[in-house]
Amino acid sequence: MKPVTSLLLLLTAISALAQNTPPGEHKDGLFPRLAKRAGGQSQASTTIDAQYYRLELYIRFNPNRLDGRVTARFVSRTDNLSSFDLDFSDALEVNSVGAAAADFTHKADRLSLTLKKSYNRGDTVTVSISYGGVPAADGFGSFSFDSMDGDPRHVWTLSEPYGARDWWPCKDYPADKADSADIIINVPSGLKAVSNGTLRYVLVNDSSDAWHWQVRYPITTYLISLAIGPYEHLSGVYTHGDGSVMPLDIYAYPSRAAQMEEVLNQTRDQLDVLSGLFGPYPFKKEKYGLAQFGWGGGMEHQTITSVGDIRSGLTYLYVHELGHQWFGDALTCASWTDIWLNEGFATYSEALYAEQRGFGGLPPGREAYHAYMGSKLYYSEGTITRDTSSVGSIFNRIVYNKGAWVLHMLRGVMGDSLFFKALRRYAQDPELIYTSVRTRYLRTVFEDVYGQSLETFFDQWLNYSLYPFYEIKWETVPEGSATGLFSLLLTINQQQQQPVYDMPMTLSVHFIDRPDTLIRLRNNQRRQSYTLMLPAEPVSLELDPDNWILKNVRDISGGVYQPGISHTTIYPNPFSRQTTIRLRYWDSGKPLLKIHDIRGRLVRTLQPRTSTLFHDYYFVWDGKNERGIRAASGMYLLMAAVRGEHIPLRSKALFIP
């Protein structure tokens, strides 16, 4: 068997993508919201460090109203602290302040507190704010009064990136996590009120219930959430690798109650896979759950993901949001220019899940992984982190798809052993976990494991606006009949206008009657030439055959292979039931595959089962002729037919029924 991994993306994989809408598409509607909100940077003082929040909330319907009291504890980061500012929307009215706060002013979404005395660096300052009103209904859902299956008693929140201030006063900035929080939600009797952390109690009163949720892991403001309504609730447990047990909860609209058990079982499996890759679930002393809400996609609220639907067919949405519990919640981007550390990692979690569990009819393994990464290709212009002047460059699909490809390429550079060691170390690093992180922290961990600098890798893939465009030209020169060796003269030009990319890559050399040869190259010049010694004359070359690099490739040499068809693989071969034939064809028109017996008689004409973004066409032959009768055992010749031409292929299929 040739040591080449083929990208087998069958029709069933395309069907699976249609049924499992990628999370990036679910979040398309979130991008305008993020763009609008990202312009409102935090106005809270940098002279305080958040330690603890206690939210006591009262939700009323008909008419809708929110009343609340927030008690917040901060540590002073300066001497002579006599006042500080918090973020808080003008749509809500501050009724009073207390504890260490003596007075306040509230305008332009800024709550300025005057303290009763001055505090020095390291001192603890506790303030309380009572407020009420109706949160602004801007259509973006920071705090939404909604309906659930026709019942108007439904509230949900989605505060990313700067929406927490719309419904409670806080220091609304991702880099400042509180060490803990208590969220107490008072709602009319008969409703469930779901939030982060552990449910401590439900206090039942005459006409209302108080739900007390306790968070004892660090949490940032945009990850604190509410989901309130007449939910159906399914509770279960998840057993961690060390034998400890945590609650596993599904809160669904009544119309989705029948789907809850299947989703709960899927969630257990997803926890198994991601915990095996990244290390223990980071909030194992609390819970994990899903709560349905009114947004069409998903949001990774800490320990309680909000999702737009509870049903089968959303596997990769659920995996994406679960991946965020490690990358986004336990490790939170310190600024929105590093949001790829959240979204790129969560998107890459999807591909790793596909590799572990299979994808679109493909069995678990590398082919399923590459097929999934093929669905995440990103060829549009833009940088992941450098351009902070444009909000649109921060919040768009580039941080999802190209972010995932950065990790995919990093795996290709480092190799599986070192990559997964570094990935797990990053996720579990005691100096980083439960903090807010930046790209340089990630790079430090990966360099420590890899033993080499990754500065160039991260700089080019995060800060260059496109990707390399490789133009290759090659020819072979015989070294003499006595040796049978050939010199391969290869030139690789980088045609993109951006700076030159520095990447290791694999060159696959194909021969007529011997296994393919894989050669590892390093390409880091605008025009770079290589001389390679080969054991026979090649018929074609393939740069980066397994697609470990985000790139475009054009072969301008013409080569010595047949026009239009650059490569053929057959697997399995020999075969007894069916085999898959792959053709690579770059030009216009759709190729057909004609199968002839050894005497040249036509046995079967096949249409391509599917094609991929990499110009691969896949044909599946079940060993039968045009009438559906099983063909005789023996060798079969293959011929491609495209645009009126018939091109004999170098490969033969051996059928042994």
Q: Residue type for 354, please? A: A
Residues 439, 338: Cα–Cα separation, whole Å: 6
- The CATH fold assigned to 40-312 is Immunoglobulin-like (2.60.40)
Domains 11-20+335-463 and 40-312 share a fold: no
pLDDT at 28: 57
> In the CATH scheme, what is the homologous superfamily, with its name and number, of domain 11-20+335-463?
Neutral Protease Domain 2 (1.10.390.10)
With b for 16 or more beta-carbon neighbours within 10 A and e for fewer, the 105-126 pattern comes to ebeebbbbbebeeebeeebebe
In contact, 199 and 237? CB cutoff 8 Å:
no
Beta-sheet strand order (sheet of 634-642): 602-606, 592-597, 634-642, 645-655
Query: Angle at CA 162, nearest 5°, toward 156 and 164?
Result: 45
pLDDT at 69: 99
Q: What is the pLDDT of residues 545-571, one digit of tens each?
A: 999 999 998 887 743 333 467 656 787
Question: Confidence band (pLDDT; 50, 70, 90) for 17?
Answer: very low
Q: What is the pLDDT of residues 482-507, one digit of tens each?
A: 788 999 999 999 999 889 999 999 99
Q: Show me where the domains of the chain are located.
A: 11-20+335-463, 40-312, 469-555, 565-655
| Residues 243-250, mean pLDDT to the nearest whole number | 98
Q: What is the pLDDT of residues 592-621, one digit of tens each?
A: 999 999 888 999 999 887 655 446 688 889
pLDDT at 259: 97
26: left (phi over 0), alpha (psi -120 to 50) or beta: alpha
Q: What is the pLDDT of residues 91-126, one digit of tens each?
A: 999 999 999 999 999 999 999 999 999 999 999 999
pLDDT at 137: 74
Residues 409, 330: Cα–Cα separation, whole Å: 24
In contact, 162 and 87? CB cutoff 8 Å:
yes
pLDDT at 392: 54
Q: Which residues pair with 555 in a beta bridge?
A: 472
For residue 377 the two structure tokens come to: 């290709």
Pairing of strands 245-252, 610-611: unpaired
Residues 238, 247: Cα–Cα separation, whole Å: 6
Residue 410 pLDDT > 60, yes or no?
yes
Q: What is the pLDDT of residues 347-364, one digit of tens each?
A: 999 999 999 999 878 899
CATH assignment, 565-655: 2.60.40.10
pLDDT at 2: 29
> In the CATH scheme, what is the homologous superfamily, with its name and number, of domain 469-555?
Aminopeptidase N, middle-beta domain (2.60.40.1840)
Q: In the chain, what percentage of residues exceed pLDDT 90? A: 69
Q: How high does pLDDT run on average in the chain?
A: 89
DSSP string covering 174-229:
TT--BSEEEEEEEEETT-EEE-SSEEEEEEE-SSEEEEEEEE-S-B-GGG---EEE
Q: In the chain, what percentage of residues exceed pLDDT 70? A: 88
